[in-house]
Amino acid sequence: MTLIKKGNKGLLNAWAFYDWANSVYSLVISTAVFPIYYSTLTSSFSDVNGDISFLGVLWNPTTLYDYTLSFSFLIVAFISPILSGIADYVGNKLKFLKFFCVLGSISVMCLFFFKDESTLWVALLFTTTASVGFWGSIVFYNAYLPEIAYPEQQDNVSAKGFIYGYTGSIILMIISLILIETSVFGLLDKAYGSRITFVLVGLWWLGFAQIAYRRLPNNVYNHKPKKDYIWRGFRELKKVFHELVRYEQLKRFLISFFLFSVGVQTIVLMAGIFGSEELGLPSFNLILTIMLVQIVAIVGAFVFSRLSNKLGNITTLKLTLVIWAVVCFIAFSLDKNQENIDIYFYILGGVLGFVLGATQSLARSTYSKLLPDTEDHATYFSFYDVTEKTAIVLGMFVFGFLVAITNSMQWSVLFLAIFFFLALLVLFTIKGNKFVR
């Protein structure tokens, strides 16, 4: 394969196109169809207290789902630094990216077989492996950014990736909505329509990923590993960790990133279930709201990427965190008995969407710009990924725990505002560099 030069438009577009491929998982599986399908199906076989039985223990369905996702993020947080250290030393990020893509896409398709209480284990097992596949691939995908784009390109390229992702996921979401609401054109039922959607997600993810693979390089620095590459991978990990600790601004950004990721990722993962169980909204309304989030997120990612060119990454991120905190307070104030609750939820979704893509895109490009001159991009980004996954574990645990003791998600959402406030305080201590202000 001919190596395409750094900064090449075709290479940047190919990298961004992997977002088009994998973001259908984020929307359909993590946020919209599967959580609502899970909530609806588990309620059909729950007891009078709303609990379900798994492994001989009674669980609140939401808490069980929270803990399952938390477990998957723990797995990613544990393995990604090790694998990325090996990948940097061996120089085969593309192979790791492909492996996790296959794991995730096949796992998503296996969710088709979750259809009743006897197959609850299918939902929990393949929810875990699909999550590991998705987030594992993201480690190596993100690590390409400083290798393919110059610092001055990274905000726009990172935003382009999210824009591609939101656009692709909206297209598949529309197809999914048609299948579900028409009961597969009147041939089956809504539940079967949801299950077919899971298969479509896996095929979309695996199929469109091939376009990105054609141009992404596999060994930018021409590393030629020796036989003991596993142990050298561990040493690479240790070396990068000690380097990272010495870079004060990078360390502070990771702390802030950890704090606001607790809020961002937990809200994204639990939005569908919150609307379904806490506000009692119909599935159709929920899916429309989540689609609205994706559409507005395209605009938000574009607007804030341009805003960051003028104000700087740190200042722009501060602005998004203030808006996130406001989202938490609005969600806390909503009640299912309010008149026009669906309209309020649409408004909330619009506000959330406007900052969702912006926050994720700016976080990725800001971290990339703060990196030292290095060849160990996968290892550095694995620490970024571990920070995010650990944050999700904490966020999901706190959310599930508060639901279990209060029997309400509203207090869980309000509590997340604290993390946005703390993240904002840490950002005020970061000075940045000529690319990050």
* Token pair in block for residue 409: 């998600």
First to last CA, the chain: 38
Q: What is residue 399's three-state secondary structure?
A: helix
The identity of residue 410, as a single letter, is: Q
Report whether 52 contacts 61 (CB < 8 A): yes
DSSP letters of 281-309? Answer: --HHHHHHHHHHHHHHHHHHHHHHHHHHH
Domains in the chain and their CATH numbers? 9-219+226-427 (1.20.1250.20)
- Per-residue model confidence (pLDDT) at position 430: 85
Sign of the C-alpha dihedral computed for residues 259, 394, 403 and 293 taken in this order: positive
387 compared with 375, residue with greater pLDDT: 387
DSSP letters of 126-166? Answer: HHHHHHHHHHHHHHHHHHTHHHHS-HHHHHHHHHHHHHHHH
**CA angle (227, 229, 233) in 5-degree steps:** 170
For residue 383, the surrounding DSSP H or E stretch is: helix 377-406
- pLDDT bracket for residue 311 (50, 70, 90): confident
> How far apart (Å, rounded) are the C-alpha atoms in residues 412 and 372?
38
Q: What is residue 14's three-state secondary structure?
A: helix
pTM (two decimals) = 0.75
Q: Please compute the mean of the pLDDT values over residues 161-188 and round it to a whole number.
A: 86
Q: What are phi and psi of 148, to 5 degrees?
A: -110, -20
> How far apart (Å, rounded) are the C-alpha atoms in residues 219 and 1?
11
DSSP letter, residue 73: H
Report whether 164 contacts 19 (CB < 8 A): yes
- Per-residue model confidence (pLDDT) at position 245: 77
Summarize pLDDT for 274-302 with one digit per residue, the tens: 777 777 777 777 777 777 877 888 788 78
Which residue matches tokens 């992997």?
Answer: 18
Report whether 21 contacts 202 (CB < 8 A): no
- Per-residue model confidence (pLDDT) at position 112: 95
Sign of the C-alpha dihedral computed for residues 406, 389, 103 and 295 taken in this order: positive
- Per-residue model confidence (pLDDT) at position 205: 96
- pLDDT bracket for residue 1 (50, 70, 90): very low
Summarize pLDDT for 315-374 with one digit per residue, the tens: 899 999 999 998 888 888 887 777 878 788 888 888 888 888 788 888 888 888 888 777
Predicted confidence (pLDDT) at residue 225 exceeds the cutoff of 60: no
Summarize pLDDT for 8-61 with one digit per residue, the tens: 888 888 899 999 999 899 888 887 789 888 988 998 888 888 889 888 888 888
Q: What are phi and psi of 362, to 5 degrees?
A: -70, -35
202 CB burial (10 A radius; 0-12, 13-18, 19+): buried
Summarize pLDDT for 68-106 with one digit per residue, the tens: 888 888 888 788 777 776 766 666 788 889 999 999 999
* Token pair in block for residue 171: 């297209």
114 compared with 274, residue with greater pLDDT: 114
> How far apart (Å, rounded) are the C-alpha atoms in residues 135 and 265?
12
- Can you name the residues that pair with 54 across neighbouring β-strands? 57
* Token pair in block for residue 60: 């609140």
The identity of residue 297, as a single letter, is: A
* Token pair in block for residue 325: 């905190």
Q: What is the mean pLDDT of the chain?
A: 83
Q: Please compute the mean of the pLDDT values over residues 188-195 and round it to a whole number.
A: 86
> Where in 194-325 does DSSP place strands (E)?
none
Report whether 367 contacts 430 (CB < 8 A): no
The share of the chain scoring above pLDDT 70, in percent, equals 90
